[in-house]
Amino acid sequence: MTMLEIIGKKKYGQELTKEEIAFFAEAAAEKTVPDYQLAALLMAIRLNGMTDRETTDLTLAMRDSGDIADLSAIPGIKVDKHSTGGVGDTTTLVLAPLVAACGAPVAKMSGRGLGHTGGTLDKLESIPGLSVTLSVEDFVRQVKEIGVAVIGQTGRLAPADKTLYGLRDVTSTVDSLPLIVSSILSKKLAAGSDAIVLDVKTGSGAIMRTLEDSLKLAESMVRVGELAGKPIVALVSSMDQPLGTHVGNALEVKEAIDILAGRAGGDLLEVSLTLGGFMLHLAGRAETPEAGQQMMKQAIASGAGLEKMKQMIAAQGGDPSVCDDVTRLPRAKVIRPVSCGVSGWVTKMDTMALGMAAQAMGAGRLTMEDRLDYSVGYVLQVRIGDRVEPDTPLCVLHARSEADADRAEAAIRSAIIFGREHCGRAQNFHAVVTKDGVRRLGAGS
């Protein structure tokens, strides 16, 4: 077979065989065909779609294009969590130590931020000395010893995805459902966990802006996961405003520590507990997700979650004393409080614009080569549904310079809409998707 023949079939909307899909994935991993042929097939897939069987075959072929982590030496059911990305989404730093403190091993490989979304690895690297680069052997050993490790992707995990992801970004094929599903799940399956909890974001800061599109993505990933023999539960959650109040790498670590220490709560805690509850249920540590949530609340109250965070930081070469003194985290040169300046209600936020405001301050990258300033970002002090007056605090800016603070203030103000009438609070979760179907939550369910 040739790539030209495969492109021709999909151009006319025909179903590809398992062998043709494997040929495509291997060609992407080994770069044995020109990029323009790979791009042509990506566009044909974007225009004509794939069946669940094709998407499953592509996911498995991409998984098998490189190394697969063997976590069998770690006792117990290993459960992974993946978010489709957003702003102020620090759930991994909250739930990973809490789930581990409740007895479920968390062997997690995470990613970096790009564009308006933050990355777990970047946040962890704001902790002085901490390394997210471990060999597979050290990764497994750490999870066996303390129950948790969060590191970067190791070795040649899903190299086909690395090639195709880069091409999708420059060929306007990022929004293809089968390509999104195979990209996410191939890496998750290669990372070796036994079950997966997915947090599929929806709203102004998500890859999928509408609830219906987010539900389609969640349902497709659950179906493909089942076909691939991997139990998956997907929750559709809101990204119509930043999840946490802190946006920026060291600031988000601080918020996670404050939550684990019992000093903070809010939407970030609620979402972390909900996702972690499902993780503990899939791991067999809790009879129900709700029981899992209660276990995690107890781990916060007892200090076990914060202690597990300290153990993970120390095991990965970081300074665990940041958990006792958050001022040891990187601090910005300019810290400026900003007031709302208007009367009314917070009715809407452009979450992508809020993420880009932090990116422009130096908290995120325009390219993968950009250097981050871990100290910068902001603390957002209003939520959708809040009543504000001119002197109500809007945010606290953490910037490198007064000029950066001025630009960030203008960007944040333009991204938040104030109205004269109360619009109600935003709900955190819209649906739970399992192999048995979709369960709608909240308003209109």
Catalytic residue positions, numbered: 82, 161, 168, 183, 187
Q: Which residue has the tokens 């949530």?
A: 293
CB contact set of 141 (below 8 Å; sequence gap of 6+): none
With left for phi above 0 and alpha for psi between -120 and 50, is residue 69 left, alpha or beta? beta
CB 173 within 8 A of CB 40: no
Helices (H) and strands (E) in the chain, counts: 16, 14
Q: How far apart are CA 369 and CA 427, in angstroms?
A: 36
Which run of H or of E encompasses 163? helix 159-170
**Amino acid type, 295:** M
Which run of H or of E encompasses 48? helix 35-48
Q: How far apart are CA 298 and CA 441, in angstroms?
A: 25
What's the token pair of residue 196? 């997966």
Beta-sheet strand order (sheet of 393-399): 246-247, 377-380, 393-399, 334-339
What are the φ/ψ torsions at residue 181 (nearest 5 degrees)?
-60, -50
Cα separations in angstroms, 413 against 86, 333, 350? 19, 22, 10
Considering only the C-alpha atoms of the chain, give the largest distance between any 2 of them, rounded to a whole number of Å. 69
What's the token pair of residue 118? 């933050």
Beta pairing partners, 378? 247, 397
Q: Which residue has the tokens 């405003």?
A: 241
CB 285 within 8 A of CB 104: yes
Q: How far apart are CA 39 and CA 226, in angstroms?
A: 28
